[in-house]
Structure 1
């Protein structure tokens, strides 16, 4: 009996648990998140519903948003008018099985029939086949990975528990806004009759969604169909990277999230994150900065960090190292004056004596008023050089070749600026929203002024 139970455990793990694990963690043969700059994807499961789906379609139409509906075949069969309206208004219709039942509890042939039957229903109503599939609860089995399925499995990157009424519209809206980022695939539900859901829960979803769509418009984001997001992701330079490099990038960006949470970093521009900061005590040797400012161990400093995800995306979309540097300079030009405003409005930040970071820049920081100093030789300097070298091989357009060609100049340095100097420069020189229109910086302008020179280009800046 024990042997039989053990075999059943092995079979169930191989058939269901392990495939589910590798699809969720590694994204194997599933689509979970896009790589767009100004788009996200709204997806809705379990419908259509005669009470809520028409109101949802009205809301999407009002905000000119496109969405993807993963419909349950039996519901689609009972409400063909709603399926027809989804199709006519430009939304994508995907498959969510004929009945809302877990793939772990069905044989491969049964799952195949569920998909085919739902696809036939969609085709009979719209005249188009569906090749996009979301298994109920996102649970896959071993055979869902088979190429014979002829469907693209779509999961999600953000889920909010909107099937429960108890959290209410306000809390749901907060959750949705916290994940309103480019590339996100949001999972929502336009029907509340599924096992474990509350019948009235979509009411709260609709209220929260309206807040989210308004905020998306304010941020310059728009909702697109999943097929459009998949196509954009396939065209992304990220997918052209070797698997090993993609794995390094994935681990590195995951560490970025852990680091930001662990050290409670704040973001200068949350809508378009680039520069992060935190208040801490300086632990280095005594140094004299511009203006005779003396920085000693224990003094308060504002430690700066570049957002590694933004840094990586800038590198991916830059045709040359010069273009990468220029884009970074533009972002610093935008964020430093905003940081100055943050400091002026925060009594604790005003106690800081200087801005502090660690950089591999050769010339860039001085253009913003930073003093560049060598790191004291030791474990920190060596480990930082190793980390930034790995980072450079990932984000620099020339990749690892940059390390081979100019390894002697890739030395991490401290960059420091008195807070008082930042405030003064912000008022007098830096372009900002205070009515001074920012002139676009061109590559030839920056090169001519000595800000960018190919031989002395920034490799990475102010990174942890």
Structure 2
């Protein structure tokens, strides 16, 4: 590969790759997520579309939901009546360029002309100049940071891939429900006419969206427009820039891990604890009630949602304070776990529940047995992993690793399924455990 290739590659990284990573991973200058509990932000790109946008507006009106539309100026010019209807029904209108071109493929001047043309069209139709902007595909160039003086750039925290028809309604709905977190900015598409999209994809999006809105309403969630986002811009308050990258990368890894092992929340309304049903492979654990978890038993493996822990840790001053808050939160979740054991056919025959953590002060009062993780390769890997996690999520970072090092060792927490139900289930019936 000659010098010309390397020059082009370096120029491309400087012009678009690095800036896009900065906003996508670190959230520099953009809105990606809200902080309020029981809220969600529905946003729609690529419209207005004469076939699907009216159906979407009907659906939103039916449920009394307000949303944000990032429209293409060319399409808005063709269908001004839809733009007027959006505004008349209380939705927020933002810009998604005049045409659906990636900013990486345009010069800075052309990007500005695209945005100015789209803004002018919207202002002529509504009488109000839009101030919210979402670049197509979430890709920007180096000079787009200058747009922040005039526009508020909005990305997303949940994208279910609804531009594809494959998998239909079920795939979109599954992704919406499994990936949702409080304050999520959700991006959907009310047009299938852009590059890479399937023309009939919006019909499946509408079907999934109706189910999703209905379910979220039952859980007492509120849908807001993006102009009601808090001003934190989706990034941890007070976190130094040099710590945002490892935090962002770690949380991305967490999302991949959850997907790989199909982890599910114990309580969809409080996603602090996740679990999976698996076969136990560790050393036998003798429990106080006489039960014993042995190799080959079916068990529930618990996992903390480290993204939530990170946000909780940001508001605490010490590891003890963090542990107290987590213990209280887990206490609220244990009845949900007991209820799930009884109601789910997949979990009714499990022998016990276990997890590995360094936050191990307090679980005994809830019936958990705390034992040392046997020394060996798994112990070493777990210790390194948990210390790295603590380094990333704890507000004191490296300083915390230097305090009371002897306490920073992984422990195994375990409780039998019978004991969990005895303590926390409203039903007197015990779980039948297969031997």
Q: What band does the TM-score fall into relative to the shorter chain? A: 0.7 to 0.9
The alignment status of 1:93 with 2:93, answered yes or no, reads: yes
> What do the CA deviations read for 1:250-294 (whole angstroms, capped 9, x no partner)?
23323323333444444322443232333322422x554313445
- Map of 1:189 onto structure 2: 189
* Paired residue secondary structure (2:270): coil
> What do the CA deviations read for 1:364-386 (whole angstroms, capped 9, x no partner)?
11111122233344554455444
Aligned pairs for 1:102-181 (under 5 A) are 102-147=102-147, 150-165=150-165, 167-181=167-181
| Aligned counterpart in structure 1 of residue 310 of structure 2, from 309, 312, 315 | 312
Aligned pairs for 1:11-410 (under 5 A) are 14-16=14-16, 19-20=19-20, 23-24=23-24, 27=27, 29-147=29-147, 150-165=150-165, 167-195=167-195, 197=197, 199-229=199-229, 231-234=230-233, 238-277=236-275, 278-284=277-283, 286=284, 288-318=286-316, 324-344=322-342, 349=347, 352-361=350-359, 363-396=361-394, 402-410=400-408
Q: Which moved more, 1:67-76 or 1:298-307?
A: 298-307
* Paired residue secondary structure (1:117): helix
- Map of 2:433 onto structure 1: none
TM-score, normalising length: structure 1: 0.77
| Residues 422 and 152 of structure 1: CA distance in aligned 2, closer, same or farther (over 3 Å) | same
* Paired residue secondary structure (1:158): coil
* Paired residue secondary structure (1:233): coil
| Residues 5 and 248 of structure 1: CA distance in aligned 2, closer, same or farther (over 3 Å) | closer
Q: Contact 2:26 / 2:248 at 8 angstroms: preserved in 1? A: no
| Residues 237 and 287 of structure 1: CA distance in aligned 2, closer, same or farther (over 3 Å) | same
| Residues 262 and 16 of structure 1: CA distance in aligned 2, closer, same or farther (over 3 Å) | closer
Give the RMSD, CA atoms, in angstroms.
3.6
| Residues 58 and 425 of structure 1: CA distance in aligned 2, closer, same or farther (over 3 Å) | same
Q: Contact 1:67 / 1:224 at 8 angstroms: preserved in 2? A: yes
* Paired residue secondary structure (1:217): helix
| Residues 295 and 104 of structure 1: CA distance in aligned 2, closer, same or farther (over 3 Å) | closer
Unmatched tracts of structure 2, length 5 or more: 429-435
TM-score, normalising length: structure 2: 0.81
CA distance in 2, matches of 1:171, 1:422: 34
CA distance in 2, matches of 1:295, 1:163: 46
> What do the CA deviations read for 1:338-385 (whole angstroms, capped 9, x no partner)?
333444456775555443333334541111112223334455445544
Q: Contact 1:48 / 1:191 at 8 angstroms: preserved in 2? A: yes
State the Cα distance separating 1:31 from its structure 2 match: 3.8
Q: Contact 1:282 / 1:300 at 8 angstroms: preserved in 2? A: no
CA distance in 1, matches of 2:167, 2:25: 27
CA distance in 1, matches of 2:165, 2:157: 22
Q: Which moved more, 1:363-372 or 1:51-60?
A: 51-60
Q: Which moved more, 1:111-120 or 1:27-36?
A: 27-36
Q: Which has the larger radius of gyration?
A: 1
Q: Contact 1:237 / 1:317 at 8 angstroms: preserved in 2? A: no
| Residues 86 and 360 of structure 1: CA distance in aligned 2, closer, same or farther (over 3 Å) | same
State the Cα distance separating 1:215 from its structure 2 match: 1.5
* Paired residue secondary structure (2:237): helix
The alignment status of 1:420 with 2:418, answered yes or no, reads: yes
Question: How many residues matched?
Answer: 426
* Paired residue secondary structure (2:232): helix
Q: Contact 1:98 / 1:114 at 8 angstroms: preserved in 2? A: yes
CA distance in 1, matches of 2:366, 2:148: 57
State the Cα distance separating 1:62 from its structure 2 match: 2.8
CA distance in 2, matches of 1:348, 1:44: 37
CA distance in 1, matches of 2:148, 2:290: 72
| Residues 318 and 214 of structure 1: CA distance in aligned 2, closer, same or farther (over 3 Å) | farther
Q: Contact 1:321 / 1:397 at 8 angstroms: preserved in 2? A: no
Q: Contact 1:36 / 1:233 at 8 angstroms: preserved in 2? A: no
| Residues 347 and 102 of structure 1: CA distance in aligned 2, closer, same or farther (over 3 Å) | closer
